[in-house]
Structure 1
């Protein structure tokens, strides 16, 4: 079954509430107070035009092109959603090129690594970033947040509907 969320461009007001909800949903402490410009990495993006706004999201493809081209097998389909296993991702961007919806991106996250000399060193890791339907929650955070805005532009889609 293919489940995904779609934003209705005729209703979206471009408020970016969905982006904030996405980031907070994936924060360890689910608190926006700890966010910085470096850690604000939404898995969805609102695109604003002159007269229209909409969000780009992963369509959770049945035969996901991003998963098919990943050289490390870091992207897979499990329990109805396509997800990235960050520990396997090398940030090569082949998934970004393969995605027909422009819903994948590679972001750089700060990490702390052991230097081998007993010192922790700050470093960066490039990794794929995409909507995972908030698989760790009962419902997608972005969807719930959009439902509370005046536009309520988001709809959950299922191949059964």
Structure 2
């Protein structure tokens, strides 16, 4: 299965992946209208430590602890992608505590969760973070 991988040596820490992610998941067809004067809440996060920038996003684990810990069944695996059913999520955040990568976070309202779903519902064949990376530090490939 294809997954998102980041080459930290090439990451500039520009955060464009975050903006592209937020736009792709906004449901709007204009990036300016979607993001202007808005605090973005992307499903990928750039962290920096000791001068190295790296992305934190869902790894779509083969045996996901978040899915096992979800008390309502809001998280499920479909074709190797861990998906969220927001109608079932009650906001207990057990999945946030279960994720060893810190890749699950509260959504904009704070009543449910959000995580990377590889843009399966809103992209043209590849995740928006990959398409928007100017330095090709983020790739979507099978390894």
Task: Note the residue ranges of structure 1 that are not aligned, 5 or more in a row.
Answer: 110-124
Partner of 2:132, secondary structure, is: helix
Number of residue equivalences: 139
Report SS of the residue matched to 1:134.
coil
CA distance in 2, matches of 1:102, 1:157: 22
Equivalent position of 1:134 in the other structure: 119
2:100 aligned with 1:100, yes or no? Answer: yes
The equivalences for 1:1-161 within 5 A come to 1=1, 3-34=2-33, 35=35, 36-38=37-39, 40-109=40-109, 126-136=111-121, 137=123, 138-146=125-133, 149=134, 151-158=135-142, 161=143
What secondary structure sits across from 1:155 in the alignment? strand
Query: Conserved in 1, the CA contact under 8 Å of 2:46 and 2:53?
Result: yes
Kindly indicate whether the alpha-carbon contact (under 8 Å) linking 1:4 and 1:58 is maintained by their aligned counterparts in 2: no
Name whichever structure is richer in strand by fraction: 1
C-alpha deviations, 1:43-69, integer Å up to 9, x for none?
Answer: 010002231101101011121111110
CA deviation after TM superposition for structure 1 residue 18, in Å: 0.3
- What is the CA-CA distance between 1:108 and the residue it aligns to? 3.7
Question: CA–CA distance in 1 between the matches of 2:63 and 2:141?
Answer: 17
C-alpha separation in 1, matches of 2:141 and 2:118: 12
Using structure 2 for the length normalisation, give the TM-score.
0.89
1:72-115 alpha-carbon deviations (Å, 9 max, x no partner): 00000112211111111111111011111111111342xxxxxx
Higher Cα radius of gyration:
1
Gaps of 5+ in 2: none
Moved over 6 A (4+): none
* Preserved contact between residue 13 and residue 53 of structure 1 (Cα < 8 Å): yes
1:115 aligns to what?
none
1:116 aligns with: none
